[in-house]
């Protein structure tokens, strides 16, 4: 059964479906030497020669794709882009290399925001998780500079006007600290650009630090250092898939036996240490919230 070209490319890990639609529309994809167009359909695993920017790619059928998901602790100062003309660090720099596929970011965090960022090899999963119709919760720890009272918190819960429409926190409450180090936890169900910061700015309050601590029911893993990543077990992968009405994954590349699990843990520890070595030299400012909400 044929599928839309952008869906096949997304499933193979070359980007989200929306990103692939943009790439196709720009004339960067060819099928057997002919420039592809939106609406083209192909079969995953077919013998067609499909290229992106002239580079031959591997087409995979749905049965060939193993859905993998990483939880990454994004530091401040990294960009959510694959490359930067100015040579600044990106969130993809530290991720493990994979053959015949690519990691697709599930949404974005701006350069001054830290915390949990998910990556997957399944672009279709990324596309569905990002779609606002699924209302996936994102929870943030927020430190603000300015006077905050109960009336302001109520306005942020009920809705404030932004240039791209009304926005509100599904839940918002104090989370400890005092004075200039007072923290709040806020929950959103959409991922508009700089939404958290713009909502507080509408109340003439500046966000001095922002950290995502939960995506759906996946928390920022305890003990994971900034710049570190960990692969999620199949149970959590299938939680994400079920949340957006996708069939469960039945395979995993994580070791299942005890000896294999120990080897996997050692491997992860070594990779995490290498991944964060550059970040440690830069340091990090501000205090973290006292407690992570689940």
Are 109 and 73 a contacting pair, CB within 8 Å? Answer: no
- Note the Cα 156 to chain centre separation in Å: 25
CA distance to 37, 45, 46, 59, 123, per residue, from 40 (Å) = 6, 16, 14, 15, 18
Vertex 120: Cα angle to 133 and 95 (nearest 5): 140
Pick the closest to residue 231 from 69, 92, 75 (CA basis). Answer: 69
Is 93 designated active site? no
State the catalytic residue, choosing from 32, 84, 100, 110.
110
Sign of CA dihedral 68, 74, 78, 79: positive
Rounded to 5 degrees, φ, ψ at 119 are -130, 145
Are 143 and 207 a contacting pair, CB within 8 Å? Answer: yes
Which residues are known to be catalytic? 110
């Amino acid at each position: 059964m044929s599928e839309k070209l952008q869906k096949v490319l997304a499933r193979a890990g070359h980007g989200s479906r929306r990103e692939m639609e943009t790439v196709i529309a720009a004339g960067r994809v060819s099928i057997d030497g002919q420039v592809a167009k939106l609406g083209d359909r192909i079969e995953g695993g077919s013998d067609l020669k499909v290229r992106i920017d002239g580079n031959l790619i591997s087409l995979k059928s749905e049965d060939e794709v193993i859905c993998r998901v990483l939880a990454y602790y994004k530091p401040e100062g990294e960009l959510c882009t694959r490359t930067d003309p100015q040579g600044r660090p990106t969130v993809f720099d530290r991720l493990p290399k994979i053959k015949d596929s690519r990691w697709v970011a599930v949404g974005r965090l701006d350069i001054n925001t830290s915390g949990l960022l998910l990556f997957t090899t399944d672009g279709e999963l990324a596309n569905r998780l990002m779609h606002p119709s699924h209302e996936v919760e994102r929870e943030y720890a927020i430190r603000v500079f300015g006077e905050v009272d109960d009336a302001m918190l109520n306005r942020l819960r009920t809705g404030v006007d932004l240039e791209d429409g009304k926005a509100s926190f599904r839940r918002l409450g104090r989370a400890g600290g005092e004075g200039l180090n007072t923290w709040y936890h806020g929950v959103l169900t959409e991922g508009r650009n700089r939404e958290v910061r713009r909502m507080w700015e509408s109340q003439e309050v500046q966000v001095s630090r922002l950290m995502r601590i939960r995506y759906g029911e996946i928390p920022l893993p305890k003990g994971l250092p900034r710049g570190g990543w960990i692969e999620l077990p199949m149970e959590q992968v299938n939680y994400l898939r079920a949340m957006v009405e996708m069939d469960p994954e039945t395979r995993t590349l994580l070791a299942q036996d005890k000896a294999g699990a120990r080897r996997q843990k050692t491997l992860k520890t070594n990779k995490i240490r290498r991944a964060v070595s550059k970040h440690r030299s830069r340091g990090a400012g501000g205090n973290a919230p006292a407690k992570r909400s689940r």
